[in-house]
Amino acid sequence: MSERLDWLAETSSKTRDRIARALNEEERAEFAYHWRFFARETQLPPPGTWHTWLIMAGRGFGKTRAGAEWVRSMAEENPHARIALISSSMAEARAVMVEGESGIIACCPPDRAPKFEASLRRLSFPNGAQAHLFSAAEPEALRGPQHSHACRAIFCGPGCGLSARKFEALDTLTAVDIDANRVQLANSAGLDFVDGRVRFLDGTQTGLVFHVVGVDRSWLVLDRSLVEGTPIGTKVEVREGCDHTFQTCRTRFANAVNFRGEPFLPGNDLLARYGKGSE
């Protein structure tokens, strides 16, 4: 669904209006949370590789929303992400960045909204990504490299360099466990499919993309609820996943040259902080 909306964002306004009117209820709900349609260009992240995104603007510009949407995109794309949210005080971090009208929770669709655990100062996303709150008044709380966005390139998308076709296959549905929200496919199982996706080509949920959030022996555990009506034997489009770590990029895909790691990966600044160069 998100990929289809990304394509729609590149079309003319006339085409977008025509297609938007034809969206079904679920697509319209997703459309309302697709930030690219409503943001100004200056509210979108800079293109290419960058280390610091600085927004210098006054009240009403939408800085909080821009930041919240960027955090949301990083969390949704990277289940292993560990993000630091830093504000002038803990109260402001919670009231503005997390629970505010333009905060992270408000920006997320209800089925993908994170859970805020105040006692842990933690925002936990359904896919496993986490964001931790910090106060600028307590700098000692930030000790050493603890946070990571991992690779920010979408698997088989722009910047990744790998062909999606190589990791996609047509498979057959052999079993469905609605209570546990999982499926079995004839030829697709194992850890390589975690963070991947499946799409049913028949039945009541035809065309919907389900992301694989885990494996249980030969089962693939999915991120959204399954419903009755998808018959055994249904053809399924399946794609392998990627955990966005450098190790996986280098060893499994031989694609280290295209690794799009963020500058604050755990451990990458150890030399700068502890190394002693020669005179």
What does the pLDDT read at residue 108?
93
Examine residue 190 and state whether it is found in any structural domain, yes or no.
yes
Q: Are residues 109 and 186 in the same domain?
A: no
Structure-token pair, residue 151: 């690779």
* pLDDT tens by residue, 12-40: 777 777 877 887 887 777 778 888 878 88
* pLDDT tens by residue, 184-241: 999 999 989 988 999 999 988 999 899 998 899 999 999 888 988 889 999 999 999 9
- Residue 274 is given by DSSP the state H
Q: Are residues 48 and 97 in the same domain?
A: yes
Res 134 pLDDT > 90: no
b/e per residue 174-183 (b: at least 16 CB within 10 A):
eebeeeebbb
Alpha carbon 143 to its chain centroid, in Å, reads 26
Q: What is the pTM of this model?
A: 0.52
- DSSP letter for each residue of 31-96: HTT-GGGTS-GGGSPPSS--S-------TTS-HHHHHHHHHHHHHHH-TT-EEEEEESSHHHIIII
Number of domains observed in the structure of the chain: 2
Q: Are residues 118 and 168 in the same domain?
A: no
Examine residue 26 and state whether it is found in any structural domain, yes or no.
no
Q: Are residues 137 and 168 in the same domain?
A: no
Q: Are residues 73 and 106 in the same domain?
A: yes
Q: Which residues constitute the domain of residue 209?
A: 164-245+250-258
| CATH code, 194 | 2.40.10.170
Reading across the β-sheet that carries 130-135, which strands appear in turn?
Answer: 82-87, 130-135, 122-124, 115-117
